[in-house]
């Protein structure tokens, strides 16, 4: 690790601390993600190796954050694994927040062209993962890294891609956000698929437009109730099989609200695409590949991607 100058701690992701660092010989900025390895095992655990090779494979797309190297170090009897990534200067959460703060001073909107471009890149990154058989399962603005200068958005934090269950707590025991979680997951479905990521993409799309989360629940039940209040309570007609899911109960009955009224800043094609991402029945939910062909993107210059 003498190859790098550690500059500062960027923060803590769901899976470990992230540092900004600089390669001493090339000057390249990198992000170091530190993972502690268990002592009772020789070498690197197969699950970790599997995760690394998946990351290496997926980071061939420019819409997935690039894993550059893996460094295995032993220090004071502790075994550490550093994943060395390309460095990006912010995440989508901070990027959205920067428009909020500017509002008080000068009227500054998240330009709809940027929203359109970011959503397209997000679909491209997610489609890349799905075409390699990997679900992200925890897409949220904090996991989307942004290169402000180039206007590029990349999917990060794929560590979860292979875990069996979606955690409620991170390694530091902070509460994992439920805001982007699909209703089938909240209702205890264990046979979920690419639809779980597309639901998150829909929530992120709406959040870019509103500059506020769409469904901000603080418990699994509250999260479901937020969704039901907005989209109407699902039933067997809208979503065959819903009442057989493990955690299904009799919920209050709500009628769907008008999405266009709730998102007055979004043009009709955007409303149509969002409603296809927030489709209850996971098997009818739009895929990332289909979304990229949606008329919402018709006036986007796709040759730049």
- Strand-by-strand arrangement of the 152-155 sheet: 90-91, 144-147, 152-155
Q: Which of 94, 109, 148, 302 binds ligand PVB (CB under 6 A)?
A: 94
Position of tokens 């098997």? 283
Closest CA to 271 of 280, 282, 284, 261: 261
Residue 305 CA to residue 301 CA, distance in Å, equals 8
What minimum distance in Å lies between the beta carbon of 108 and ligand PVB?
18
Phi (first) and psi of residue 168, to 5 degrees: -95, -20
| Helix (H), strand (E), coil (C) string for 25-65 | CCCCEEEEEEEECCCCCCCCCHHHHHHHHHHHHHCCCCCEC
What minimum distance in Å lies between the beta carbon of 29 and ligand PVB?
9
Q: Which of 88, 155, 271, 292 binds ligand PVB (CB under 6 A)?
A: 88
Q: Which of 71, 89, 97, 269 binds ligand PVB (CB under 6 A)?
A: 89
Phi (first) and psi of residue 130, to 5 degrees: -65, -35
Residues 6+ apart with CB under 8 A from 11: 17, 18
Q: Produce one character per residue of 264-297: b if its CB has 16 or more CB atoms within 10 Å, e if not.
A: eebeeebbebbebbbbbebeebbbbeebbebebb
Q: Is 122 in the site for ligand PVB (CB under 6 A)?
A: no
Region from 86-94, 119-127, 178-186, 241-249 binding ligand PVB, contact rule CB under 6 A: 86-94
Q: Is 66 in the site for ligand PVB (CB under 6 A)?
A: no
Q: Is 145 in the site for ligand PVB (CB under 6 A)?
A: yes
Q: Which of 59, 142, 233, 287 binds ligand PVB (CB under 6 A)?
A: 142
In the set 23, 97, 127, 138, the catalytic residue is 138
Q: Is 3 helix (H, G, I), strand (E, B) or coil?
A: coil
Q: Which x/- pattern over 228-267 shows residues binding ligand PVB (rule: CB under 6 A)?
A: ----------------------------------------
Q: Which residue lies nearest ligand PVB, judged by its C-beta?
A: 11
Q: Which of 15, 18, 226, 233 binds ligand PVB (CB under 6 A)?
A: 18
What minimum distance in Å lies between the beta carbon of 16 and ligand PVB?
8
138 catalytic, yes or no? Answer: yes
Position of tokens 């992120």? 204
Residue 139 CA to residue 119 CA, distance in Å, equals 13
Q: Which of 22, 28, 56, 90 binds ligand PVB (CB under 6 A)?
A: 90
Question: What DSSP line would sit under 90-113, residue for residue?
Answer: EEHHHHHHHHHHHHHHS-----HH
Region from 4-12, 102-110, 210-218, 227-235 binding ligand PVB, contact rule CB under 6 A: 4-12
What minimum distance in Å lies between the beta carbon of 74 and ligand PVB?
22
Binding stretches for ligand PVB (CB under 6 A) = 10-13, 18, 31, 33, 65, 85, 87-91, 94, 142-143, 145, 156
Q: Just list the catalytic residues.
A: 138
């Amino acid at each position: 690790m003498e190859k790098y100058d550690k500059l500062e701690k960027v923060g803590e992701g769901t899976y470990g601390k992230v540092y900004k660092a600089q390669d001493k010989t090339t000057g390249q900025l990198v992000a170091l993600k530190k993972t502690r390895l268990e002592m009772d095992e020789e070498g690197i655990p197969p699950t970790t190796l599997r995760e690394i090779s998946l990351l290496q494979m997926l980071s061939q797309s420019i819409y997935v954050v690039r894993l550059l190297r893996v460094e295995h170090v032993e220090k004071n009897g502790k075994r550490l694994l550093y994943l060395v990534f390309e460095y990006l200067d912010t995440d989508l959460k901070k990027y959205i927040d920067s428009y909020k703060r500017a509002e008080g001073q000068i009227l500054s909107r998240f330009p709809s062209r940027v929203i359109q471009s970011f959503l397209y890149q997000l679909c491209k990154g997610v489609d890349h993962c799905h075409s390699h058989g990997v679900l992200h399962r925890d897409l949220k603005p904090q996991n989307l890294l942004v290169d402000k200068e180039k206007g590029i958005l990349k999917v990060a934090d794929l560590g979860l891609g292979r875990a069996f269950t979606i955690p409620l707590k991170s390694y530091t025991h902070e509460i994992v956000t439920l805001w982007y979680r699909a209703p089938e997951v909240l209702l205890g479905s264990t046979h979920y698929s690419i639809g779980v990521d597309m639901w998150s993409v829909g929530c992120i799309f709406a959040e870019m437009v509103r500059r506020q989360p769409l469904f901000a629940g603080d418990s699994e039940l509250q999260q479901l109730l937020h969704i039901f209040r907005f989209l109407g309570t699902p039933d067997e007609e809208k979503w065959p099989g819903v009442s057989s899911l493990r955690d299904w109960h009799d919920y209050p009955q709500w009628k769907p609200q008008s999405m266009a009224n709730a998102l007055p800043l979004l043009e009709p094609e955007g409303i149509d695409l969002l409603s296809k991402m927030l489709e209850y029945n996971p098997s009818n939910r739009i895929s990332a590949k289909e979304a990229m062909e949606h008329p919402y993107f018709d006036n986007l210059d796709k040759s730049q991607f």
